[in-house]
């Protein structure tokens, strides 16, 4: 299992990715962080759109 945390530090954005065996720390200036945020928003919108377009699965029948 992994997790992400974002922090601001001295006018920069620091992204910490904690994984089981290692931790990766990435540092971004404002422009890089803005680009990353836009890419994340676009990707999330595409994922949500795909989920919304999936046909609804019928509920299982209950035999009483």
Q: What is the pLDDT of residues 28-50, one digit of tens each?
A: 999 999 999 999 999 999 999 99
Q: What pLDDT, on the 0 to 100 scale, is given for residue 64?
A: 64
Mean pLDDT of the chain: 92
User: Is the separation of the CB atoms in 31 and 37 below 8 Å?
Assistant: no
Instruction: Determine the 3-state secondary structure of 26 from DSSP.
Output: strand
Instruction: Determine the 3-state secondary structure of 57 from DSSP.
Output: coil
pLDDT band at 54 (very low <50, low <70, confident <90, very high): confident
């Amino acid at each position: 299992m992994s997790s992400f945390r974002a922090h601001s530090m001295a006018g920069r954005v620091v992204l910490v990715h904690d994984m089981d065996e290692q931790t990766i720390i990435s540092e971004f200036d404002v422009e890089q962080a803005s680009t990353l945020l836009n890419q994340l928003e676009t990707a999330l919108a595409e994922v949500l759109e795909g989920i919304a377009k999936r046909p609804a699965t019928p509920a299982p029948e209950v035999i009483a």
